[in-house]
Amino acid sequence: MALISKFAAVLLFVTLLHSTELEASDQIQPSPPLDRFAIGFELAYGYVTHFSRALVPVPGEPDSAPKLGEGLTGSLSGQINFDLMLGPRWKHFGALSVALGYVDAGTKFVRNVVDYPERVLLGNEEVTSPLTQYTAELSYSLLTTEILFHYYASDKHLRVYFGPQLAFPMSDLMREHFKLVQPREASFAPDPDPKDDLRYSRDNRSIHLPERSLPDARKTLYALKLGMLYEFRIKRFIAAPFYSIGLVLKQPSSTVSWKLTWMHFGLRLMHTF
């Protein structure tokens, strides 16, 4: 009986000692850190897609603008991000992200047209229905700001995000010209009194229109941004490949038919605090 009592006392002592060690261990090992906010930047490359008619009609022929189809143009973007974390990422809470960025949305339209209303000569004879190539290049850059909501999906490293984006055009310079394609030996007959300050090339096979801004350009564009990213963490540093789409809700010009969308993929680098 005395032996059983001693064994019970030893067992109770060991149990209490083990319990004390566990409590001390819990106090020494901190819980996983909760990110409060993050600061970083991202760089991306992608494409600008659009659908449009000519940016300017043939001089003197307001209804002669050649129809232009869908296009895809390379685009660079970059921005600075500030994320405010709303909760621990492993519980599917999200974050609010505020960003200031830049988007290169310049584009180029090329289309063959017939019957440009300028005389075309082959020797001394006038050519009927010559084939002419119309090219319009638009340098169009935007300063953007956005507020996005980020949500951690089932995987604690995967974020999806969406929210409004404002874009403010910084440049919208248009360059346009017409070039004779067929007949190869033909040339434009320079007008002694050219319309709209047209410029002819030395061989008279190209006509350059004066540079100008996008007609009736909007000062502010409204867009909806959607995207997803995947986090790779090293302590408090985050590297996150991402893909995003910016859907412009109104056309850049109130008179020129041009639907603008940008799609970018790139890398976001962040430091959490």
In a domain, 236, yes or no: yes
pLDDT of 126 reads 81
In a domain, 25, yes or no: no
In a domain, 19, yes or no: no
In a domain, 27, yes or no: no
pLDDT of 74 reads 87
Buried/exposed 222-256: b ≥16 CB within 10 Å, e otherwise: ebebebbbebeeeeeebebebebbbebeebbbeeb
In a domain, 13, yes or no: no
Query: What is the SS3 assignment for the chain?
Result: CHHHHHHHHHHHHHHHHHHHHHHHHHHHCCCCCCCCEEEEEEEEEEEEEEEEECCCCCCCCCCCCCEEEEEEEEEEEEEEEEEEECCCHHHCCEEEEEEEEEEECCEEEEEEEECCCCCEEECCEECCCCEEEEEEEEEEEEEEEEEEEEEECCCCCEEEEEEEEEEEEEEEEEEEEEEEEECCCCEECCCCCCHHHCEECCCCCEEECCCEECCCECCCEEEEEEEEEECEEECCEEEEEEEEEEEECCCCECCCCEEEEEEEEEEEEEEEC
* Total structural domains within the chain: 1
pLDDT of 189 reads 82
Range of the domain at 207: 35-272
CATH number at residue 173: 2.40.160.20
In a domain, 69, yes or no: yes
Q: Which tokens go with 3?
A: 């032996």
Q: Which tokens go with 98?
A: 């505020």
Residues with pLDDT less than 50, the chain? 1-33, 62
In a domain, 229, yes or no: yes
In a domain, 233, yes or no: yes
User: What is the C-alpha separation between 10 and 204, in angstroms, rounded?
Assistant: 108
